[in-house]
Structure 1
Amino acid sequence: MPPRPEDASAPSAEEIEADFLDRVRKAHDNGWAMDDQLIEPGLIAVTLPVRDPAGAVVCAVSVVSHTSGHSARSLAEQALAPLHRALAAMEAALASPTSTAPAEKAGAADPCGAPSQTEMSGSTLPEAELATRLTRAATEALTPAR
């Protein structure tokens, strides 16, 4: 493949890093992050970290839209309240007592013996049960009462 000509308008590595660090600071300060067409033109997203009882981020809850339906600002305005409800329910599910099922054996999920994410986070729930619990909590928090 022939070399590509340098694009004079392309940002420098220092500018890219500074922009990234600025977005990280904003996400930290806000408690949530926004993707305004950074990953894919036309797609926007709002994301919140889900933390275990020790405060470690174990996953994220997010909503994605197309720019034909929302601006980044309108998506945040509409989605943050429901996402916070889902976040609270998911974190409550993580904090609830673990199941009576036996804890996942070390290395059982990985033939090389690497610990699973649940083992690293200290959870005794098998990963599938943990995922089910988190999904159920988020779904219940976001489903309108009848």
Structure 2
Amino acid sequence: MTKSNSPPAANLFLDNQLCFALYAASLAMTKTYRPLLAPLGLTYPQYVVMLALWQQRELTAGALAQAVALDAGTLVPLVRKLVAQGLLTRRRSDDDDRVVLMSVTPAGQALKRRAHAVHDQVACSTQRSASERRDLTEALQALRSALSTRG
């Protein structure tokens, strides 16, 4: 009997693909958030933008895009809607007119208090301990970093 040099067929099974596990988990996570964010008047991408600005208070458009891993073409309409909802403001930098700064309004800050319940409900939905969620988050951040540095 000759030994084959080809990789095992199981390498191409869908259930053995890290990329598919991440994709399916991301879809499930977004689906979990949807009904919880609806009462806040936010979509999941809008929520992610708000999270970044709740953390930093004020960010340039470029820094916000980098923080939430979105390109400008996707971010601009999200920010416009959040500004229209009265949750964010946009203003030109005093130092450089070309720089646009985004910040949270008082209404946006008030929404932050309500968002804590969303976080808690999603954490419960994962059926993982705080330690397990933290470890998973750190592992995924390391994976993202490793893949991002590859170009």
- Alignment TM-score, normalising by the size of structure 2: 0.25
Greater per-residue helix proportion: 2
Relative to its length, the structure with more strand (as a share) is 1
